[in-house]
Amino acid sequence: MTDSNDTVKDAILLATLPHVAFDGWTMKALTAGAADAGCKRQDLLHAFPDGVADAIAHWSDWADRRAVAAITAADMAHMKTHQRIAMGIWARLEAMSRWREAARTATIWLAGPLHASVWLIAPLGASAVLVFAVPASPLAQPWSVIGGNTLSAVVGIAAAGWIPQPELAAAVAVAGAIGLMFSARCLHPPGGAAALLAVLTHTTHFSSALFPFFTNSLLLVLAGVAYNTLTGRRYPHVQVAPRPPGSDARFSQADIDAVLSRYNQVLDISRDDLELLIRETELESYKRRLGTLSCADIMSTVPISVEFGTPLQEAWALMHERRIKALPVTDRTRRVVGIVTQADFFRQLDLQHHEGIAAKLRDLIRATRTVMSSKPEVVGQIMTRQVRVASADRPVVDLVPLFSEGGHHHIPIIDGEKRLAGMITQSDFVRALYRAVGPA
């Protein structure tokens, strides 16, 4: 193709574009444009032998030349990679912005049944597998799909146009596509195939990166959003800000980052999903180890208890003798009606002044000899009535929140008839945890 031919083609094309808004991409519009450009019909047929198809292809080539000229004239030395990419796309769109109606009708013409093959690009099949089958993958996210396919196509088109040997062009295209996707943080495996396809089909028009690669990738992402929303899956799979680990966490976010930095490989899973899986796996491990243990397996089977009318002195002596800090309170049928702890005793004392606490305690628990008394005399008068109990067949793992967050130190255990069957303390629970998760 000579410069004079390009000049004639450019003249006919630019004169045709205003007619396309009224007549569409037809031979009528081309004929009118050739007449306005001062060209004969023979010149039109020589410039565009295939008529409309050649005219649209030359329009894309013309827009490519305008975009390249704009990019070359710009100062891109201080721009980051994503800024250069954005500028290139904007320059290409700006070159065609004056004839939006022509661009719209060209898209409709290319999408017609006689030209459906331009929509069929093999790499999109692999992209669809990622978007619909593994939407949580970082490789399937919208920027990875759109940016990966489009930028890879640009690299492939450049390689096809600048490197005459197809074998070398293919190698350079795939390698360059991988490097560019890494740099732009849009790694997408089908992008390598997009670059290779451009070389194999000897696609040299940069407009092909916008259509069909960019257009198809965008439509695929939109379809993926609709499908995954309807099926209840999150897409795009936005990274969730990790919650700060608790003081008792077995690992921290810094631990994960340290391992990932040493691993030095690309993982097909987002960082927040990886952390969630690790924590869920740890929880399942606890459940597996503790799930077979029931309260009956670790409780004190001969619990010491008192009744509502047990004197305070007797209850305190019992706690002191057995070195325990709580006693379940039962009725005559051994059903739990409350619990009395050392804290219940001390709540009856004036603790604002620490002097003489022992004497105050002795006065509290000493039985009054008279009929009337101004202080509590029996357990039922100081016990805690709202008491949390657990059944003997309940899994021990269910007691974790009660001991760790609920502030409980003693939990009475009841049998199938709701009678007192045992007692579990924090010490019993810690001992069971150690046996379950500690070293063999």
pLDDT one-digit tens code per residue, 39-83: 998 989 999 998 888 888 888 888 888 888 888 888 777 887 777
User: What count of other Cβ atoms lies within 10 Å of the Cβ of residue 90?
Assistant: 14
- Interatomic CA distance for residues 417 and 414, integer angstroms: 8
For 165-191, what is the mean pLDDT? 94
| Cβ proximity of 149 and 214 under 8 Å | yes
CA atoms within 13 A on the CB side of 335: 5
Residues 345 and 398 in one domain: yes
- Interatomic CA distance for residues 213 and 218, integer angstroms: 9
Pairing of strands 336-341, 390-391: unpaired
- Interatomic CA distance for residues 110 and 104, integer angstroms: 10
Residue 28 domain-assigned (yes or no): yes
Residues 11 and 73 in one domain: yes
Residue 24 domain-assigned (yes or no): yes
Q: Which of 121, 118, 16 is nearest to 59 (CA)?
A: 16
Tokens of 74: 């710009």
CA atoms within 13 A on the CB side of 252: 7
**Which residues span the domain enclosing 410?**
296-437
Task: Give the torsion sign (CA, 101, 102, 103, 107).
Answer: positive
Residues 342 and 401 in one domain: yes
Residues 108 and 181 in one domain: no
Residue 205 domain-assigned (yes or no): yes
Q: Tell me the per-residue pLDDT of 336-385, one tens digit each, with 9 for 90 and over.
A: 999 999 888 988 887 777 677 888 888 888 888 887 888 899 999 999 99
Residues 427 and 300 in one domain: yes
Look at phi and psi of residue 97 and say left if phi exceeds 0, alpha if psi is from -120 to 50, else beta: alpha
Lowest mean pLDDT among 20-34, 87-101, 214-228: 87-101
| Cβ proximity of 138 and 269 under 8 Å | yes
Domain count, the chain: 4
Based on its alpha-carbon atoms, the radius of gyration of the chain, rounded to whole angstroms, reads 40
pLDDT bracket for residue 3 (50, 70, 90)? low
User: What count of other Cβ atoms lies within 10 Å of the Cβ of residue 270?
Assistant: 17
Q: Tell me the per-residue pLDDT of 101-140, one tens digit each, with 9 for 90 and over.
A: 888 888 777 666 555 555 678 899 999 999 999 998 999 9
Residue 131 domain-assigned (yes or no): yes
Is residue 397's pLDDT more than 90?
A: no
Residues 309 and 276 in one domain: no
> Can the peptide bond before residue 236 be classed as cis, meaning omega within 30 degrees of 0?
yes
Q: Which of 184, 152, 179, 193 is nearest to 86 (CA)?
A: 184
